[in-house]
Structure 1
Amino acid sequence: MSSTLKFFFIGATGYVGSSVLERFLDHPEANNFEFTALVRDPRKAEKLKQFSVNAIVGSFDDAKLVEDLTAAADIVVDMGGSDNLGLAKSTLRGFQRKFQETGKPSIFIHTSGTIIIADDAAGLHSSDVVWNDADPDQIEQLPPTAPHIDVELEIIRADKEGYVRAYFVTPGTIYGIASGKFVDAGLAHKHSIQVPALIKTSLDRGQAGMIGKGLNIWPNVHIDEAADFYIDLYNAIKANPDSVGHGRDGFYFLLNGEHSLYDVGKEIGRALVALGKVTTEVPSTYTQEEVNKYFGGSNFLGTNSRGLANHSKSIGWKPKKTTQDLMASIKPEVEEILKHL
């Protein structure tokens, strides 16, 4: 690699992406970094340039553009394409070109999610199955139908061929209202997906909701600690690349505590009662009609997804926020959403 490290960010203005990009911009070695980001909105691209980010207007479907930007980079950080096989193939073609030119594998930090280990419980039961991110043999038991897995298998094959070193950042439910200069500038999303979706549907139906009985369990991680991990991973790779697992041994779960869908629903109900928006804090089951209306017919929120972040913690990640913090974050999230409805 040259003395200047060239980063290419995909999904830089998203909820996670903006938080991660801001941390790299604040890295102690940032004077030696060069940042490029792919952005759909020309107005956001212009604003990003004010933060010393070379923003290129384009989409995930611009295959040649993605390939070219990847080939020009030393490190690619993807925080928006977990389900986009076409995007993955475009980046991999770029990595191949780079390797042919330099003989050195590039670094690919790809964001996935613990939905890859989810079951089909439909909220009717919990699960005793716990997946260990430090056990690649267990991870390889995931069925080919698992969400995201087609993308990850393609990337793992590339890692095995040796022209890229791939690391899979795999968060559970990310919670908390994002903050920072990109949020303040109107460049980034400040809300996650799962909890805000439950809040908005609860407001619409007049009662907190859950899939089935809400007995399913998911892990949780605060947005700030999730974003911190990307820096911990980069620092570990820089310090001793051969000591940091990649490819089939490159999954890193981000989680620090678990919650049931029922408990989250009840906390949302409690907040809505306190704000005078509903009359009961007890969540009720979404009807099939509501599942179709709110979630496109998917019971995703009723799945179990249980894991251990042993691999992530082994490289120095030290999350502190727990499920108690998740619950405490719900009322402020409700209040913030109500401001904009």
Structure 2
Amino acid sequence: MSPKTHIFVTGATALFNSLGVTAVVGTNSDFDVLISLASEADVVLSCANVNDINAARAVLLGLKKRYEQTKTVPIFIHTSGTGVLIDNAVGNYATDKIYSDLDVPIIESLLETQPHRDVDLEVIAADKQGYVRTYVILPSTIYGIANTLLVSLGVQNPYSIQIPDLIKAGLDRKQGGVIGKGLNLWSSIHIDDVATLYISVFDAAMKGQNETGHGSEGYYFGENGEYRMGEISEVLAKLLYEMKRGESPEPTVFTDEEVQKYFGGPSLMGTNSRARAERAKLIGWNPVHTIDSLWASLKPEIETIVKRQNA
């Protein structure tokens, strides 16, 4: 690496200019731009779209050019997610299957048809070719509301997706809802711990190729505890009822039509995804938020969404 490390982050906004960061306005479809910027970077952090394989290929092509020009192996930190582990439970059962990010064979056995998997495989294959070192970060359910300087400056999204979507659905139907029997299990991670996971992987990667696993041994799960999805639904339904936003303190089952309306079809929230961040913690990542933080976050999430809807 050069004395000054050139980092290219996808998924940022033009507002980063206010922080002295050079922002380039474009989209994941601007392949020539992605190739060009990646070819100039020592490190790429991909945070824009975990499922865009063509954008990933463009970035990798740029990194390959970088290697050919400098004979130095660049670093690619790619964002995926533990959605890659899901099953078809539809909320009706819990699974005993738990994935560790140290268990490479079981991860390698995942079908290419799993969410995110085709892009993950493309990234891993590039590492095997030797022109780039790749690290794949897989957060689980992200919860909590970020409260950072970047949020105050308007350059960071402070919200996640899964739990807010469940809240918005409950508010719209005026009743907390659950998918199936709500027996399925998911791992979870606080939004602030996601940030420190990226820092931990970045620091380890910058120390050299032997500091931590990369390529097929470079999966890093983001989790610190797990929950039963039905319990989330139960707590949300009770909170909505207490706030006079729900008709009953008990969640009712989402109909097929509601699942399509609120979640765009079969939802991750009806699946099992159980992960253990063993590799991530071996490199020194130390998440500080436990599952208790998840439960404490639910009421503020509702209050924030209501406030935004009323603004």
TM-score tier by shorter-chain length is: over 0.9
| Aligned with 2:50 (options 72, 76, 82) | 82
Asked whether the equivalents of residues 81 and 88 of structure 1 are also in contact (C-alpha less than 8 Å), the reply is no
Task: Please give the residue correspondences for 1:30-109 in structure 2 after superposition, counting only pairs within 5 Å.
Answer: 39=13, 45=14, 47-109=15-77
The reply to whether residue 273 of structure 1 matches residue 244 of structure 2 is: no
Specify the alignment match of 1:242 in structure 2. Answer: 210
Specify the alignment match of 1:158 in structure 2. Answer: 126
The reply to whether residue 223 of structure 1 matches residue 191 of structure 2 is: yes
| Aligned with 2:171 (options 186, 199, 203) | 203
CA deviations 1:23-80 (Å, max 9, x no partner) are xxxxxxxxxxxxxxxx4xxxxx1x3211011000100000000000000000000112
Specify the alignment match of 1:8 in structure 2. Answer: 8
Q: Which runs of 5+ in 2 are unaligned?
A: none
Distance 2:156 2:70 in 1: 35
Specify the alignment match of 2:200 in structure 1. Answer: 232
Distance 1:321 1:55 in 2: 32
Asked whether the equivalents of residues 165 and 247 of structure 1 are also in contact (C-alpha less than 8 Å), the reply is yes
Distance 2:159 2:236 in 1: 15
Letter of the 2:277 counterpart: A
SS in 2 for 1:76: strand
| Aligned with 2:290 (options 322, 326, 331) | 322
* CA apart distance, 1:337: 0.6
TM-score by length of 1: 0.89
CA deviations 1:265-287 (Å, max 9, x no partner) are 11111221222211322111100
| Aligned with 2:159 (options 188, 191, 213) | 191
Specify the alignment match of 1:283 in structure 2. Answer: 251
SS in 2 for 1:317: coil
RMSD: 1.1
Specify the alignment match of 1:254 in structure 2. Answer: 222
Letter of the 1:291 counterpart: V
Letter of the 1:235 counterpart: D
* CA apart distance, 1:292: 1.2
Distance 2:258 2:268 in 1: 14
Aligned residues: 309
Distance 1:10 1:261 in 2: 31
Q: Percent identity?
A: 41
TM-score by length of 2: 0.97
CA deviations 1:146-187 (Å, max 9, x no partner) are 111111111111100000100000010000001212221223
Distance 2:166 2:49 in 1: 23
CA deviations 1:206-225 (Å, max 9, x no partner) are 11111111110000000001
Distance 2:306 2:112 in 1: 40
Distance 1:186 1:338 in 2: 20
| Aligned with 2:264 (options 293, 296, 308) | 296
Asked whether the equivalents of residues 44 and 75 of structure 2 are also in contact (C-alpha less than 8 Å), the reply is yes
